[in-house]
Amino acid sequence: MTTADLSSTSSEFRALITQVDKRRHRKDRTMRVLIWGAFVLAMIPLVSVSLTVVVHGMQKLDLDFLTHSMRGVFGGADAGGIYHAIVGTLLITLFATLISVPIGLLTAIYLVEYGRGSLARAVTFFVDVMTGIPSIVAGLFAYALFAVFFGPAVRMGVVGSVALSVLMIPVVVRSSEEMLRLVPNELREAALALGVPKWLVVIKVVLRTAVAGIGTGVTIAVARVMGETAPLLIAVGTIDSINTNLFSGRMMTLPVFIYQQYQQGLVPCTPGQQNCIPTINYDRAWAAALTLIILVMLLNLIGRLITRFFAPKNLG
Amino acid sequence: MTSTQSPPDAAPVGPPPLAPPARRRGRPGRVRVRDRGMSRAFRWLATGAGALILVVLAAVAVFLVVKAWPAITEPTDQLVAEVPWLHGASSLLSFVGPLIFGTVLAAALALLIATPIALGIALFISHYAPRRLAAGLGYVVDLLAAIPSVVYGLWGGLVLAPFVQPVWSWLGETLGWIPFFSGDVSPTARVLLTVGLVLAVMILPIITAVSREVFLQTPRLHEEAALALGATRWEMIRTAVLPFARSGIISAAMLGLGRALGETMAVLMILSPGFLYSFKLLVAGQQQTIAANIAAQFAEASPMSVSALIATGLALFVITLFVNMTARWIVSRRKDFSGAN
């Protein structure tokens, strides 16, 4: 081998490793564009939904709309509001939270602190499966449960609460379990070594440490079930006036109100008729949708703020 | 020195006091701590809550069966006479058939549209987006899941359907020879393709979230090895990330499928229903899904119709349970093998 030979192969080699393989790079660039495109594409519906809800919703949303029910409102009259629906949504969701949080939290404690063996494995697996129950099936279950005891015409707020808690429990379990697992074992061991009984360790040490995260998880779970429509539609029904009793009679909720107004569609107004707006039902639906989204986003925001302000590290 | 009181400042003298007799002398090895009183009560309470979850899931199945039983056992001719929307079907099964078909078709359509986009977004967040932005972008995608389904229905019916109608007309004219796009294109676009589009938007977040997690778990060394061998970024993803994430992607898609199967409001508010075994995606009045049918008929149903509706709900429950259990099983099985280290 001569030096010239060597230098020629080395330059060939250099050319080989520095040359750009056009085809491979074109493919790389195409995929990069496609992947960026996928993200941009997904933003279109998000932006479109938020924009239309805000633009259409702002037209009707005012204090009058928030503080009146639909009792006695008919035709295309520019009257009525969503007070009854807001009350119903808050009450039903609150009661669902009261059912779900103790069960969900205790289950999470079981899984983290006590769970061994096949029962724990089964619970973990079926909590995951439970997150996939269709909301309408949860509604049917709640209806069937109460219909067995109260007869087939049962329509009560509490039925809706039970349906929502079937959907909410697995979410609470999942998020609380994650938070409890983050609590360092040293804390438990230190407390046990001081002679604190196990149940007090769980309540005063483990829960105390994880309370911010659990609060966040619960708030986000509430936000998730607040927008559920189908179970409430079949379990609670619809009504035009205010009902604050969870245990008697139908109640209105915001999502069901949106659906009901949408179904009623355009109002046929005779030309020249006073106080008749053809699109009044759609306007109400958009305004109610804006209210619902504001409520849901507010809860999401509160959930994140809880973590920021109540995390143990900030407690000194 | 046997006195109980010794001066505190005195140095300990004499033999150290005898250790108390070991109580657990007969039990070598690990000492088993038994909890008593409140601790035991609390343990039982927590275990009871865990068991309650299983009871609830079983109760869902039991109560649905109990309420569906009258319709399942009723002779067909009486059932058809009592339930107005059976459309003279020859049996409950032949009525549920088209509904199951419609449900699966709508969900499959949504999955077909959503999966590639969701994988793109997940890859974007895990491997393409600037690192500092990635977490925030993931949160933005999760916002799609925070929008209530009824709002998607409202948007789909009033905004999206009029918007896509010209596109569907064009599809029907130019691609009408494909069976999916044949027939008279609906002038209102209240058709299955529009529904599939909205459902796809609704299941994007879950598919994205699960596959993003899996992509992020790819062993760093695999990725660096691929890059060191001269792979471009896409080749690195194709050779290192995707094979590692395959089972995760499958289960993510199945979770999305489970969501789409059970989604009610978007279908109810957009689709103009029909009860046919039809693949025509652009024609109105062809298909209907189980969930939307229940919501549409439930309000003014007689006891026997309610029973029949609950029977269809039971079918939906079984289908989604199967899909979700398969998905979770794939995920849990993957956990055992994911240790690539």
pLDDT digits (tens, 9 = 90+) for B41-60: 999 999 999 999 999 999 99
The predicted structure's pLDDT at residue A276: 81
Assessment of whether the complete model's pTM goes beyond 0.95: no
Q: Which residue has the tokens 């659990």?
A: A214
Selection from A235, A240, A227, A45 nearest residue A157 by Cα: A235
Q: Residue B46 and residue A133: Cβ atoms within 8 Å?
A: no
Residue B172 lies in a domain: yes
Average pLDDT score over chain A: 87
Selection from B292, B149, B206, B320 nearest residue A228 by Cα: B149
The predicted structure's pLDDT at residue A312: 61
Choose among B53, B153, B299: nearest Cβ to A126.
Answer: B53
Residue B40 lies in a domain: no
- Given a cut of 50, the residues of chain A with pLDDT beneath it are 1, 314-316
Residue B103: which CATH number?
A: 1.10.3720.10
Tokens encoding A184: 């360092």
- Given a cut of 70, the residues of chain B with pLDDT beneath it are 1-35, 84-90, 334-341
| Phi/psi at A155 (5° precision) | -140, 105
DSSP symbol at B24 = T
| Phi/psi at B230 (5° precision) | 95, 15
Q: Residue A137 and residue B317: Cβ atoms within 8 Å?
A: yes
Predicted confidence (pLDDT) per residue in B66-99, tens digit: 988 888 887 777 777 777 666 656 677 777 888 9
Rounded to a whole number of angstroms, the distance from the CA of B305 to the nearest CA of chain A is 11
The predicted structure's pLDDT at residue B24: 45
A279: closest chain B residue by CA: B158
How many domains, in total, are found in chain B? 1
| CB distance A166 to A141 below 8 Å | yes
Identify from A137, A149, A261, A300 which residue to disrupt to test chain B contact, counting B C-beta atoms within 10 A and taking the largest count.
Answer: A137
Residue B29 lies in a domain: no
Rounded to a whole number of angstroms, the distance from the CA of B16 to the nearest CA of chain A is 25
Q: CA of A189: how far to CAs of A200, A201, A205, B34, B44, in Å? A: 13, 9, 10, 16, 21
The predicted structure's pLDDT at residue B299: 80
Q: Report d(CA B298, CA B314) in Å as an integer.
A: 15
Q: Report d(CA A45, CA A206) in Å as an integer.
A: 42
Residue B22 lies in a domain: no
| CB distance A255 to A227 below 8 Å | yes
Q: Residue A282 and residue B123: Cβ atoms within 8 Å?
A: no
The predicted structure's pLDDT at residue A106: 94
Chain B residues touching A226 at Cβ < 8 A: 148
Percent of chain A with pLDDT strictly greater than 90: 51
Chain A residues touching B269 at Cβ < 8 A: 259, 262
Residue B152 lies in a domain: yes
Amino acid identity for residue B83 in this structure: V
Residue B130 lies in a domain: yes
Q: What ranges do the domains of chain A cover?
A: 78-315
Tell me which residues of chain A, numbers 175 to 194, contact chain B at a CB-CB cutoff of 8 Å. Answer: none
Tokens encoding A84: 């009854």
Predicted confidence (pLDDT) per residue in A176-197, tens digit: 999 999 899 999 999 999 999 9
DSSP symbol at B35 = P
The predicted structure's pLDDT at residue A34: 94
Q: Report d(CA A159, CA A161) in Å as an integer.
A: 5
Select from 1.10.101.10, 1.10.3720.10, 2.60.120.650, 3.40.50.970 the CATH code of A78-315: 1.10.3720.10
Q: CB pairs under 8 A, 24+ apart, for A56-65? A: A56/A282, A56/A283, A56/A286, A56/A287, A56/A290, A57/A286, A57/A287, A57/A289, A57/A290, A57/A291, A58/A290, A59/A283, A59/A286, A59/A287, A60/A283, A60/A284, A60/A286, A60/A287, A61/A287, A61/A290, A61/A291, A65/A284, A65/A287
Helix (H, G, I), strand (E, B) or coil at A27: helix
**Range of B187's domain?**
97-298+319-337
| CB distance A250 to A155 below 8 Å | yes
Selection from B70, B35, B215, B248 nearest residue B129 by Cα: B215
Predicted confidence (pLDDT) per residue in A225-257, tens digit: 998 999 999 888 888 888 888 888 889 999 999
